[in-house]
Amino acid sequence: MSAHRLIQLCAAVLGAVCLGLTLWHGLADRGVALAFGVFVAAGELSRWTGCPPREAAPLGAAGALAYALLGEAAGEPTRHGVAQVVAVVLAASLVGCVPHLARGERGTADHLARRVLTVGFAAVCFQPLYNRGVFDAWIGPAYAPLLLALLALTALCDAVLAAAAARSRTGWPFGPLLRDELRGLLGIGSAVCATGAVVALAVAVVGLWALPVFCVPLSLVQLAFRRYAAVRATYRQTIASLARATEVAGYTPAGHARRVAALSRAVGRELGLTEPELTVLEHAALMHDIGQLSLVDPVPAGATARLPAAEQRRIALLGGAVVRQTGVDPAVAVVVERQADPCAEQPLAARIVRVVNAYEERVREAGPGGALTALEELRLGAAGDYAPEVVESLARALGRESDPGGGWVTHG
């Protein structure tokens, strides 16, 4: 069984058991449970699926974690346990996810599974020990750092689950995926953990009025992340439009830059590049042919890989100069202008773009079924012209493509 299916199965079993126990024993502190349930459901309803950050429903996550770490409400001890925490969060999350499920949005099952397992982990770490008085000695200034430490462990658990699920679905290396998840915790993840701890502490003192008050800062953070992601999406669309200039002018075949960018990103994943490095790689791959606009006579089919080395370097340097004038990240210009350098002197991103571009051109020349021939040609030239580790990563990336007639190797 694949890891993401196992995660979903564990979450389903845990949720079913906790729902059953809660129905059997009854709901304790119904007002508190209802308030947190509404809070979590509202957070899930506002879950964002358009270019989301790592945590697409920060309000729901913060409310769920706060309920898992809640020991008192308005100075009165609470009586809910681990089973009720999981049951309330699961029921509220299901209610909040109904519109997303109705729209057929992908990733909802994984999202719910991670929510149930991480909240269950936090509740297991806190509720039994708190109810037995183990944390009594921590009441005071040390209590807030204790909650933050528990939330940090919970966030680490969620990052491991997310990386394992992504590894199972895509086959990409686990280490870089986990590194990206942990890096994401420094952004919206830290805001979620801080809000969860603050809400739990505030409800313990002032009661349920703390829920609407302390959700405002996190709502503003979520809005800021949405605007940031929208800016990034516009930025990428601008780069893609610039990259299409060579296609519109007839210098390169339609879709060439897009195909090279998609396959370069897949190869970068195979080689363990981080998310920021993948972004630079993708943008450089989109704009790798922009130097051809300086040519008086277009290269037939835009196949620069067959040109003499000196001409390739001239086009690459011109392309880098154009990229620098567009205001794009200077790292992108470096990759573009060094894609024709000797292999041993190139940065890894430039090696990837060079290999993928050569592969794409060879496949187009060979026609249908030419992928194996193109790979073999690259392997024969790997000793000097192309990095062997990049060529082999390209082969692995192509092997992961489930539809051999689509994606990387079609050129209609």
CB contact burial 312-321 (16+ within 10 A = b; e otherwise):
bbbbbbbbbe
Q: How confident is the model at residue 51 (pLDDT cuts 50, 70, 90)?
A: very low
Cα within 13 Å of Cα(234), Cβ side? 6
Percent of the chain with pLDDT over 90: 20
Cα within 13 Å of Cα(69), Cβ side? 31
Percent of the chain with pLDDT over 70: 90
Specify whether the CB–CB gap between 178 and 159 falls below 8 A.
Answer: yes
Specify whether the CB–CB gap between 211 and 35 falls below 8 A.
Answer: yes
Q: Which residue has the higher pLDDT, 346 or 249?
A: 346
Q: Is the pLDDT of residue 107 over 80?
A: no
10 exposed, middle or buried (CB, 10 Å; 0-12, 13-18, 19+)?
A: middle
Q: Tens digits of per-residue pLDDT, 304-313?
A: 766 777 888 8
> Which amino acid is located at 40 in the chain?
V
Rounded to the nearest integer, the mean pLDDT of the chain is 82
Q: What is the third-level CATH fold of 244-400?
A: Hypothetical protein af1432 (1.10.3210)
Beta bridge partners of 189: none
Distance between CA atoms of residues 342 and 388, nearest Å: 14
Two tokens at 120? 């269950």
3 state DSSP class of 378: helix
C-alpha 306 chain-centroid distance? 37
Distance between CA atoms of residues 230 and 235, nearest Å: 9
Cα–Cα distance list, 96 to 105, 111, 210 (Å): 13, 12, 21
User: Following DSSP, what letter does each residue of 1-34 receive, concatenated?
Assistant: --HHHHHHHHHHHHHHHHHHHHHHH--SSHHHHH
Count of CB atoms within 10 A of residue 178's CB?
18
Two tokens at 119? 């909240």
Which residue in this structure is represented by tokens 């992961």? Answer: 400
Which residue in this structure is represented by tokens 């079609």? Answer: 410
Task: Show the CA angle centred on residue 186, arms to residues 180 and 191, nearest 5°.
Answer: 130
Distance between CA atoms of residues 372 and 60, nearest Å: 48
Q: How confident is the model at residue 290 (pLDDT cuts 50, 70, 90)?
A: confident
CB contact burial 152-171 (16+ within 10 A = b; e otherwise):
eebbbbbbbbbbbbbbbeee
Q: What confidence score (pLDDT) does residue 341 get?
A: 82
Q: How confident is the model at residue 376 (pLDDT cuts 50, 70, 90)?
A: confident
9-18, 173-182, 253-262, 395-404 — which one is most confidently predicted on average?
A: 9-18
Q: Is the pLDDT of residue 409 over 60?
A: no
Specify whether the CB–CB gap between 264 and 256 falls below 8 A.
Answer: no
3 state DSSP class of 198: helix
Distance between CA atoms of residues 322 and 312, nearest Å: 15
Look at the chain and count its residues: 412
Q: What confidence score (pLDDT) does residue 408 get?
A: 42
Q: Is the pLDDT of residue 391 over 60?
A: yes
Q: Is the pLDDT of residue 410 over 70?
A: no
Phi, psi values for residue 73, rounded to 5°: -135, 115
272 exposed, middle or buried (CB, 10 Å; 0-12, 13-18, 19+)?
A: middle
Q: What confidence score (pLDDT) does residue 121 get?
A: 95
Q: Which residue has the higher pLDDT, 160 or 46?
A: 160
Which residue in this structure is represented by tokens 């790292």? Answer: 331
The sign one gets for the Cα dihedral 91, 96, 98, 103 is negative
342 exposed, middle or buried (CB, 10 Å; 0-12, 13-18, 19+)?
A: exposed
